[in-house]
Amino acid sequence: MIPLSEADFLSQLLGDSKHPGLVTLLGYSYLHLRPARTKNGWVTPVQGPLGKGWPDLLLMRLKDRRTIYVELKTDKGKLTPEQDGMQDFLTVMHFECYCWRPKDWDEIVRVLR
């Protein structure tokens, strides 16, 4: 099996203008803060102490008032210390928080239903 990049994994979850992804099909609205390439490399402009390590996705579904925070990684990707700390912080605050990888697809479907 060919390893899936984080960008391709994100596309499966969010879809595009022609094809809805899993998140949309299951009734979630989402927020994804995209990094931008600058002359000094990739950056995601944020301000404040919660910015470092903030999860890739915020998913919200009105019908059951669910809020889910998700960090995406490739199957071999590792959380940075800041991402790991943010996962701990959100969990302590009683938010649903996950780190998802392409190999977790069946579990992702189960969680989102």
Which string of DSSP letters, residue by residue, matches 87-110? Answer: HHHHHHTT-EEEEE-GGGHHHHHH
**What's the mean pLDDT in 84-96?**
97
pLDDT band at 94 (very low <50, low <70, confident <90, very high): very high
Determine the pLDDT at residue 3: 87
Which structural domain range is residue 75 located in? 6-33+52-112
d(CA 52, CA 85): 9
1 found inside a domain: no
pTM of the model: 0.91
* In a domain? residue 43: no
Q: What CATH code is carried by the domain that includes residue 12?
A: 3.40.1350.10
